[in-house]
C-alpha cells in the first residue's frame, strides 16, 4: 500500500513537470498511470481537468472535476475549478451561484469554508452575477471577497471593471490605479483603466496618474497590449470620413428587400455611449451598436412615430475590438446587420442562428 502511494505521488510530480514543459500528452499519460495505481485519486482527476481545460477540452475537464469531487468531497481545488469553468466557459451562471452558496453554507461532506475559501467563492459568485447583469450584486460580493481574503489585485481589478460598467468612473479610476500601482505587470487592470480614462477624456474630465506611468487612455491600452497582446488589442483608429464610408458600404451591402424596410431608420455614429443612455437602457459602456425604437414586428401596435427609430454605432468601441482596419470594416458590417436584425424583430438567439451575433 505504501509503495502504491509513493508511486501515485511520483506520477503526479512527473505529470506536473511535463505540464509545465508544455508536454500535454505526456502529462495526461502520467496522470492516467496515477489513476491506475489509485483510481479514486482526487488530485489526479483534478490535474487532468486543469490540463484538459487549458487544451480547450471543456466538457472533458468538467467531467474530471466532477470525478475529483466524487472521490474527495473536501478537495477544495476541484470545487473552485468546477465553478470557475461553469462561469467562464459554459455560461451556466445559475448553477455556479448554487454551488457557490453550497460551499459558503458549509457541510460535513464539503471543504471547511475558511476565510480564503470564502473569499474565492465570493469572487467566483460575483462573476456569475456580473454575467447575469446583476452588477450591484457583483460589486457587493467582490468587495466582500477583498475584505474577507485581504486586498488582492485580482479582486480589485474585477471591482474596477464592475464600477466601470456601472458608470462609476471616478471610483473605478481610483481602484484601478491602486491595482496597477501594486501589480504593474497585470494587463487586465491596465486595460480597464484605459477604458475609464477614455470615457473621462470624452467627458473632458480626465487626468491620469503619472506615478504609475499612465497619464491617458492610449498609454493604458499600450501597456495592456504589451503585457497581453492576444487579449488586449491596441485600438485601430481611423478618421471619421473613412468610418462613415464603411457604414454606408455596410448598409449598401444589405439585401435590397431589407434596405427598403429600413429606409426610415437613421444610422448614426457616436464615439461612445453617453452616460444617460447607459443608465436608461442598461447597456454596457463597451456596446458596439444599439437599436433604439420599436421593432418592425411591433410597429403596427404602437403609436410611436417611425422617425424615432435609429441605430447607433459607437466608433471607439468598434475600433477597440479589431486588430487592423480590414477587420474593423468587417466588424462594422456585422454590427450594422446585427442592429438591423433587432429592428426587424429578431432576438439574440435568432441573430446567433443567422450568424449576425
pLDDT confidence bin for 27, thresholds 50/70/90: very high
Phi/psi-derived region of residue 57, left when phi > 0, alpha when psi is between -120 and 50, beta in every other case: beta
Q: In the predicted model, is pLDDT for residue 301 greater than 60?
A: no
Please check whether residues 280 and 259 belong to one and the same domain: yes
Tell me the whole-structure pTM to 2 decimals.
0.88
- Over range 21-34, report the average pLDDT: 95
Q: What is the pLDDT of residues 200-258, one digit of tens each?
A: 998 877 666 777 889 999 999 999 999 999 999 999 999 999 999 999 999 999 888 88
62/40 Cα distance (integer angstroms): 16
Number of domains in the chain: 2
| 217 domain residue, yes or no | yes
pLDDT confidence bin for 343, thresholds 50/70/90: confident
| 146 domain residue, yes or no | no
Domain of residue 230, CATH code: 1.25.40.10
Q: Give the residue, 299 or 239, on which the prediction is more confident.
A: 239
Q: What is the pLDDT of residues 264-278, one digit of tens each?
A: 889 999 999 999 999
Please check whether residues 251 and 343 belong to one and the same domain: yes
pLDDT of residue 212: 85
Q: What is the pLDDT of residues 106-158, one digit of tens each?
A: 899 999 999 999 999 999 999 999 999 999 999 999 999 999 988 779 999 99
Last residue of a domain, which of 202, 218, 234?
A: 234
Q: What is the residue range of 208's domain?
A: 151-234
pLDDT of residue 355: 55
Q: By the 8 A CB rule, do 153 and 183 touch?
A: yes
Burial 283-299 (b: 16+ CB within 10 A, else e): eebebbbbbbbbbbeee
| 45 domain residue, yes or no | no
226/186 Cα distance (integer angstroms): 10
pLDDT of residue 69: 97
160/285 Cα distance (integer angstroms): 13
Please check whether residues 248 and 210 belong to one and the same domain: no
Burial of 274 (0-12, 13-18, 19+ CB in 10 A): middle
Q: In the predicted model, is pLDDT for residue 306 greater than 70?
A: no
- Over range 159-174, report the average pLDDT: 96
pLDDT confidence bin for 75, thresholds 50/70/90: very high
Please check whether residues 245 and 270 belong to one and the same domain: yes
Please check whether residues 339 and 289 belong to one and the same domain: yes
Domain of residue 336, CATH code: 3.30.2010.20
Q: Of the candidates 226, 229, 314, which has an alpha carbon nearest to the alpha carbon of residue 267?
A: 314
Least reliable range by pLDDT among 10-24, 37-51, 202-216, 248-262: 202-216
Q: How many CB atoms lie within 10 A of CB 311?
A: 24
Please check whether residues 196 and 244 belong to one and the same domain: no
Amino acid at each position: 500500500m505504501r509503495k502504491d502511494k509513493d508511486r501515485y505521488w511520483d506520477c503526479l510530480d512527473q505529470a506536473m513537470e511535463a505540464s509545465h514543459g508544455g508536454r500535454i500528452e505526456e502529462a495526461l499519460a502520467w496522470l492516467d498511470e496515477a489513476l491506475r495505481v489509485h483510481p479514486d485519486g482526487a488530485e489526479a482527476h483534478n490535474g487532468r481537468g486543469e490540463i484538459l481545460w487549458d487544451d480547450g477540452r471543456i466538457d472533458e475537464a468538467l467531467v474530471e472535476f466532477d470525478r475529483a469531487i466524487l472521490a474527495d468531497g473536501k478537495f477544495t481545488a476541484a470545487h473552485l475549478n468546477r465553478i470557475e469553468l461553469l462561469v467562464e466557459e459554459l455560461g451556466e451562471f445559475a448553477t455556479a451561484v448554487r454551488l457557490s452558496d453550497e460551499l459558503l453554507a458549509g457541510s460535513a461532506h464539503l471543504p471547511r469554508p475558511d476565510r480564503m475559501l470564502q473569499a474565492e467563492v465570493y469572487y467566483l459568485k460575483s462573476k456569475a452575477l456580473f454575467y447575469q447583469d446583476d452588477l450591484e450584486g457583483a460589486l457587493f460580493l467582490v468587495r466582500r471577497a477583498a475584505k474577507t481574503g485581504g486586498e488582492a489585485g485580482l479582486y480589485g481589478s474585477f471591482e474596477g471593471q464592475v464600477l466601470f460598467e456601472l458608470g462609476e468612473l471616478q471610483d473605478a479610476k481610483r481602484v484601478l490605479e491602486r491595482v496597477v500601482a501594486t501589480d504593474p505587470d497585470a494587463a487586465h487592470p491596465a486595460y480597464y483603466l484605459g477604458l475609464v480614462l477614455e470615457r473621462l477624456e470624452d467627458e473632458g474630465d480626465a487626468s491620469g496618474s503619472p506615478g504609475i506611468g499612465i497619464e491617458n487612455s492610449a498609454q493604458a491600452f499600450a501597456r495592456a497590449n504589451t503585457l497581453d497582446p492576444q487579449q488586449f488589442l491596441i485600438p485601430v483608429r481611423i478618421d471619421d470620413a473613412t468610418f462613415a464610408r464603411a457604414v454606408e458600404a455596410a448598409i449598401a451591402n444589405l439585401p435590397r428587400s431589407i434596405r427598403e424596410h429600413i429606409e426610415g431608420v437613421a444610422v448614426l455614429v457616436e464615439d461612445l455611449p453617453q452616460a444617460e443612455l447607459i443608465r436608461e437602457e442598461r447597456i454596457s459602456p463597451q456596446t458596439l451598436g444599439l437599436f433604439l425604437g420599436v421593432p418592425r414586428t411591433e410597429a403596427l401596435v404602437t403609436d410611436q412615430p417611425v422617425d424615432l427609430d435609429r441605430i447607433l454605432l459607437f466608433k471607439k468601441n468598434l475600433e477597440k475590438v479589431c486588430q487592423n482596419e480590414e477587420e474593423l470594416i468587417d466588424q462594422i458590417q456585422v454590427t450594422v446587420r446585427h442592429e438591423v436584425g433587432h429592428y426587424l424583430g429578431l432576438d439574440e438567439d435568432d441573430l446567433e442562428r443567422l450568424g449576425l451575433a
